[in-house]
Amino acid sequence: MNDSALHEGRIYVAGHRGLVGSAVVRRLHAEGLHNIVTATRDELDLTVPGDVMAFFEAQRPSHVLLAAAKVGGILANSQEPVAFIRDNLAIQANVIEACHRFQVRKLVFLGSSCIYPKFAAQPITESALLSGALEPTNEAYAIAKIAGIKACAAYNRQHGSNFLALMPTNLYGPGDNYDLLGSHVLPALMRRAHEARAQGLDELVVWGSGTPRRELMHVDDLASACLFALQRLDASDIGECVNIGVGSDLSIREIAEIVMRVVGYQGRIVFDTSKPDGTPRKLLDVSVMKHLGWSARIPLAEGIHSAYQDFLTRFTGQAAPALSTH
């Protein structure tokens, strides 16, 4: 445990306006940690090496949480692979090198469960990394994140750095992207179910076949894992990366049904099979983190309910209906 170092230093949260970064900042504040450094995209373009070095030189963070990334759902990933590979490689290369040059004590780098092979054995252990071909719909993003993991490992090996790579499963929560085309499944379905109810529509369109399975984790659980890593983990405690998940998954159809229940929409589900299914399943094996002393806590229905509350206050100013328990 290295708690005092965290209180005494300066924690740079890169990407503090995003889903993950904003949850991490909320959590750090809740822990009484206010020594946080942030910069908006207008203030600092993380893809520009000189700007990143100058920022680190001026701010001298002791701890860095790298949550800044170009992210998006299955369609955005397959339609704009250039931005996903180019921006993520640049952001990571710059921030990781700056952490080395300015002797950051600990870097927590965030990836994603899509780094694992499309047909990895389930649940997916960390050792599945690079053991098979990737899912094509998000290959560009995955390759960039794999490069980030390997960069952290290389700096650790060559320079004795303390760079940790955390691989969270699919996330949702307050501050999510609710854009209908660019977002991930949960915010997209939440918005579509909400609009279908408001407009009295009979049908809710769900992309793909409904059979792929996804593990969904509330972003506040990831923030708790990030705090745990900042306070208590060192790179030597884990392998090249460590999974952060809840340990169970549901089919897209089941996820749609929970969303409908939370939103209070009673129409019919229709599947748009012209849209891609993506990888059939990506359930993470979370035993390494469990052994290290961390587990996710937020139950899915409760988490979706609080996410819907966030959606409603942002978009309509209404309150969410009470969550039914059946």
Token digits of residue 80: 């704009």
Cα-based distances in Å from 84 to 74, 139, 142, 165, 181: 12, 9, 9, 19, 16
Using the minimum distance from each CB to ligand GDP, give the nearer residue, 47 or 138. 138
Using the minimum distance from each CB to ligand GDP, give the nearer residue, 80 or 277. 277
- The answer to whether 296 and 287 are in contact (CB under 8 A) is no
Task: State the minimum distance, in angstroms, from the CB of residue 77 to ligand GDP.
Answer: 7
Task: State the minimum distance, in angstroms, from the CB of residue 206 to ligand GDP.
Answer: 4
Using the minimum distance from each CB to ligand GDP, give the nearer residue, 137 or 162. 137
Residue with tokens 């793909």: 208
> Is residue 116 flagged as an active site residue?
no
Task: State the minimum distance, in angstroms, from the CB of residue 302 to ligand GDP.
Answer: 20
- The answer to whether 46 and 52 are in contact (CB under 8 A) is yes
Give the burial string for 53-62 (b: 16+ CB within 10 Å, else e): eebbeeeebb
Binding site for ligand GDP (CB under 6 A): 73-74, 114, 138, 170, 183-185, 188-189, 206-208, 212, 214, 252, 275-278
Task: State the minimum distance, in angstroms, from the CB of residue 175 to ligand GDP.
Answer: 16
Token digits of residue 20: 């993950």
Nearest to 289 by CA among 234, 224, 244: 244
**28: Cβ contacts below 8 Å, ≥ 6 apart:** 11, 13, 34, 36, 227
Task: State the minimum distance, in angstroms, from the CB of residue 90 to ligand GDP.
Answer: 22
Using the minimum distance from each CB to ligand GDP, give the nearer residue, 102 or 271. 271
Using the minimum distance from each CB to ligand GDP, give the nearer residue, 37 or 188. 188
* Catalytic annotation, pick one of 12, 141, 155, 265: 141
Report the DSSP beta bridge partners of residue 171: 217
- Would you please indicate which residues are annotated as catalytic (active-site) residues? 141
